[in-house]
A and B are shown apart, each in its own frame.
Chain A
Amino acid sequence: MKAPAVRDSGAPSLRRVDDYFVGTFMAMASPCELLLDTDDWDDARAALERVHGEAARIEATFSRYLDGNVVHRINHSAGRPVEVDAETASLIDYAATCWEASGGLFDITSGALRRVWKFDGGDRVPSHEALAATLRNVGWHRVTWHSPVLTLPAGMEIDLGGIGKEYAVDRAASLVAAGTRAPFLVNFGGDLFASGARRGGATWSVGIDDPEHTGAAALYRIDFDRGGLATSGDARRYVMWQGRRLGHILDPRTGWPVSGAPRSITVLATTCVEAGTLSTLAYLQGAAARDFLDGQGVRFWIL
């Protein structure tokens, strides 16, 4: 699992498609786009600048691949308390609530397990001893959190990747909404937020691509006008073990990828952050994912 290539800092590009604008750029190692249903070029240019700026800011602030940001400071605090800013504190508060609500399944300290797993499609799995040693550095219950001061025991690390991208989508969406009345859709690598029905009243239509990457057209289309959409699954990062395909989402209590989990889960909720957490929690239920989502009163699609 190598760090992403040199971050592509190319300027975002804006083009006209039918009767709306599409702005695209690279961020958070994913293709990002903004669809804005307006005829006003300046409006679209301004909105794209805001979305690109916010995506870059959040990536720089919370990506654990970059040195010098707050996550880096936390992960190299060697047990000393670290005071964090308000935005990081609210993200950690959110993660703590998710940990409690999921009975420990959703855990931002499970990042340490990445040291022993390589999800490159190969068949290597960690030895029992290596896994046991790593698990001693995993578990939110080991962390002391009295906002805004976080104390991480030495050897542990946090990864806000599970929330960061969806959070960036919602943040970018609110900045666009503040600047224009036009309906829009923000899409960061499959995590989306749509602000409302298009001008003619039509809904946004999103294709869920085939996790097998056979290049077939989108497996199915989701039509929705307002809300956050997020997908969890082993679409791109997985290992093949004893003929079974294991996704990159790990159960922090066992250290193993979740067993019996469906290929991919997509959830529609009020915000992208909520949709992302629900789809991750559903994935962590493994085979019980469908029952879990049935009880949440949200639209979802399971492959």
Chain B
Amino acid sequence: MQLDSAPRPAPVRARLRAAACLLLASSIPGARAAAAATTQFDASGLLYGELDRAKVVEPTLRVMRLLDNGQSFSAGLVLDAITGASPSGAMPTGRAMTTTSASGTVTNHAPGEIPTSPFSDFRGALELGWHQPLGGIVATDLVTHYSREKDYQSIGGTAALSLDLMQRLTSVTVGGGYDYDNVFPVNGVPVGLSPVVAGTGGPPDEGPTNASAVTAAAATGGTSAAVKQVPSAVVGVSRILTRRWMVSLNASRIVQRGYLTEPYKIVSVIDPDSGTTVGSITEQRPTTRDRRDLLANSVYHFGTGVFYSSYRYYWDDWGVRSHTIDLKYRRDLAEETFFQPHVRLYAQTAADFFRFGVVQGEPLPTYASSDYRLGPLRSVTLGGTYGFHVPDYPGELTVRAEYILQWGDGHPSDAVGVQRTLDLMPPLHIATVMVGYTRTF
């Protein structure tokens, strides 16, 4: 081996720097003790508002404790305060009218406006999580949750096993979940497709009720609560393709069994000639729903920013098919700040039994619902998140503002009379503002 010129004797500085480092490292306790465990605290607050409809305030708190053996425990609390009006399912008509919701509340509406009924609710949800790595390549995740609101309670959990393969270039996740929900509507469980008569009572905090409203509970056949069971399964594969690009494919299946009807939603009874509403009946949905989706996800790092794109295809045995495209681009700015614009496009077909109303005199279908969320719905979301950090204060802050526009095909071919002149699914404008704070210590 040809000996090249003897390398320059390492300058004295190299030895001094090493020795100085040793001196400062060995005597400073902080530098030596590696952080044994870290705790991450997350808090966020959501303000959600629909134009003259529901308003939601949702604070969330979450604490995650990561131990040095890779195990982590997390606890999260979500609180929702919901007020405002929700569409009852009744159809707009040419003239001012009053509608009575299934919970017996009567409200007046201007002509052509979607009838809604006022409601308010308070929901709390607690979630506990546990992540346990088993050896180098396998990890398990267990999550249990309990949530409660005035007329709904849910308890459930999910378990997932993830496996890292090929030097962690590929990972496979298999998981399952089960929820057991109780529904106890304010005036009892209404009998499906049964006429709703103006009621006198109505739940105490249901907002102002007009005179002469008859409680709808009389038509409920006396059952006060119903059960809903939801087993679910998910399988996913994620793959690192290049230094900048990773992709994943997830498939999930959720089977809902039990009382799936919305207790407060009604279906209008339409006069066959004039098309005006002459009454309303409670809605009725099937007792099972087999829901599946396929989600393809891609994350690509451009060096100055990261591009997130995902496509979800959803289908279920109620006839709803939907496409969802979600695009985000996180642009890293100066020191630890970023801006992330967001676009989401959504389109779904209506459920087979969705209808804008039932024509008086015709035989009632077995299932019927006018809940626009089961209708031919389109929606576009435009928004952006700004992430930053307040100097001298630990932790990162994110502020997100988004606008969601929902609309639908409100001109069905079988519309009758005046309905032909109305848009039965007028656009809905939603604005959300969210503030997030994350701190690890």
Contact A90 B22 (CB under 8 A): yes
Residues of A close to B333: CB separation below 8 A: none
CB within 8 Å for A271 and B13 given contacts A171-B28, A174-B30: no
Residues of B close to A273: CB separation below 8 A: 20, 23-24
Which residues of chain B from 9 to 48 have a CB within 8 Å of any chain A CB?
11-13, 15-17, 19-24, 26-28, 30-31
A180 within 8 A of B: yes
Contact B23 A93 (CB under 8 A): yes
Q: Chain B contact residues (Cβ within 8 angstroms of A): what range?
A: 20 to 34
Contact B12 A296 (CB under 8 A): yes
Q: A94 to B25: give the CA distance in the assembly, Å.
A: 12
Contact A281 B26 (CB under 8 A): no
Q: A298 to B391: give the CA distance in the assembly, Å.
A: 32
Q: Measured between C-beta atoms, what is the minimum distance from B28 to chain A in Å?
A: 5
Contact B16 A274 (CB under 8 A): yes
A56 within 8 A of B: no
Interface size of A in residues (CB-CB distance below 8 Å)? 36
Contact B26 A181 (CB under 8 A): no
Residues of A close to B31: CB separation below 8 A: 174
Q: A167 to B394: give the CA distance in the assembly, Å.
A: 28
A3 within 8 A of B: no
Residues of A close to B17: CB separation below 8 A: 269-271, 274
Residues of B close to A87: CB separation below 8 A: 27
Contact A170 B24 (CB under 8 A): yes
A83 within 8 A of B: no
Contact B24 A174 (CB under 8 A): yes
CB within 8 Å for A297 and B392 given contacts A174-B31, A273-B23, A273-B24: no
Contact B391 A199 (CB under 8 A): yes
CB within 8 Å for A43 and B392 given contacts A97-B15, A277-B16, A295-B11: yes
- Please give me the residue from chain B that is nearest to A271 by CB atom: B20
Contact B11 A297 (CB under 8 A): yes
Residues of A close to B16: CB separation below 8 A: 97-98, 101, 269, 274, 277-278, 281
Contact A178 B391 (CB under 8 A): no
- Please give me the residue from chain B that is nearest to A267 by CB atom: B13
Contact B27 A90 (CB under 8 A): yes
A39 within 8 A of B: yes
Question: What are 6 A-B interface contacts by the 8 Å CB criterion?
Answer: A91-B23, A93-B22, A93-B23, A94-B23, A167-B23, A271-B21
Binding site for A on B (CB under 8 A): 8, 11-13, 15-17, 19-24, 26-28, 30-31, 391-392, 394
Known pairs A86-B26, A182-B391; list 20 more (Cβ under 8 Å).
A38-B392, A90-B27, A94-B19, A98-B16, A98-B19, A171-B27, A171-B28, A174-B28, A178-B30, A181-B392, A182-B392, A270-B21, A271-B21, A273-B23, A274-B13, A274-B20, A277-B20, A278-B13, A278-B16, A296-B11
